[in-house]
Amino acid sequence: MRRVTTNLKARLKAGEKLLGAWTMTDSPDNAEVMAQTGLDFVLMDHEHGQATLPAAIAQLRAIKGTGCAGLMRVPWNDMIYIKRVLDAGIQGIMVPQVNTPEEARAVVAACRYPPLGIRGAAGGTRASSYGVDMGYFGRAADELLVMVQVETPQAVENAAAIAAVDGVDVVFIGPRDLSAYMGKLNKFDDPELRALITMVEQATLKSGKALGTIAPTGALARQLFDQGYSLLISGSDMTHLRASIVQMMKEAGRG
């Protein structure tokens, strides 16, 4: 059933499980198709993807009214970039490689207006309907979903302290980068990697914050939801396109 609200923070607090997918391209068509499938969110990847900020705004417009939220992973923990994407109307933000509680607090500060943070305030942004919706400023902190990524052994050690930071809504485990920092890139079944992931899972669930990660398949997503995860990303526009074509080629005897 398609949800009425795209306020993912409220939905998580209500105990809902959220499933979304990356968009790695700058295509509003791709974002629109994904939003029409019933995904809870599309997450525009500006760390590894191809899109620019104007393209992200076009994608937000494409999914508007579908019940699917538009989120973004920013390239880095950069208050300037964060400010610009929030003003563009992103409904949730993911910040990669947050390794300490101090870095997590910097993320939150960049997302909140003074006196709670350091976000600059402007009256004519897309987020406030170009100044028509002045109530936005009072709602922004309550509606914006803030996700921080745990992707290094240092972040694993600090997972409990990161999760304890006020304003962090989701602790999101990045298994690929974590495997790389361990010298075991893409060895996702490695016992040492699994042990570190378990440490983050336990620390986050104990904190009461939402736990997120990657789920390459729908079957794995179901399993992870049962294990206590609340927010999962399963594939991207590019991986789903590739997989569909590969499957078609096999069925046609050409694979």
pLDDT given for residue 77 in this prediction = 98
Q: What is the DSSP code string of 182-246?
A: TT-TT-TT-HHHHHHHHHHHHHHHHHT-EEEEE-SSHHHHHHHHHTT--EEEEEEHHHHHHHHHH
Does the residue 3 lie in any domain? no
What end-to-end distance do the CA atoms of the chain give, in Å? 36
240 is catalytic: no
Does the residue 1 lie in any domain? no
Both tokens of residue 70? 């538009």
CATH number at residue 97: 3.20.20.60
DSSP summary character for residue 130: G
pLDDT given for residue 3 in this prediction = 45
Q: Is the pTM of this model over 0.75?
A: yes
- Classify strands 145-150 and 92-95 as parallel, antiparallel or unpaired: parallel
Q: How far apart are CA 219 and CA 232, in angstroms?
A: 12
User: Residue 211: which domain range?
Assistant: 8-251
Does the residue 134 lie in any domain? yes
Can you give the pLDDT of all 255 residues of the chain as single tens digits? 344 478 999 999 999 999 999 999 999 999 999 999 999 999 999 999 999 999 999 999 999 999 999 999 999 999 999 999 999 999 999 999 999 999 999 999 999 999 999 999 999 999 999 999 999 999 999 999 999 999 999 999 999 999 999 999 999 999 999 999 999 999 999 999 999 999 999 999 999 999 999 999 999 999 999 999 999 999 999 999 999 999 999 999 998
Does the residue 169 lie in any domain? yes
DSSP summary character for residue 82: H
Select from 110, 121, 118 the least CA-distant residue to 79. 110
Does the residue 111 lie in any domain? yes
Domain count of the fold of the chain: 1
pLDDT given for residue 255 in this prediction = 80
Does the residue 191 lie in any domain? yes
Does the residue 60 lie in any domain? yes
pLDDT given for residue 1 in this prediction = 37
Q: Which of 13, 48, 64, 139 is catalytic?
A: 48
Label residues 232-250 b or e (16+ Cβ within 10 Å = b): bbbbbbbebeeeeeeeeee
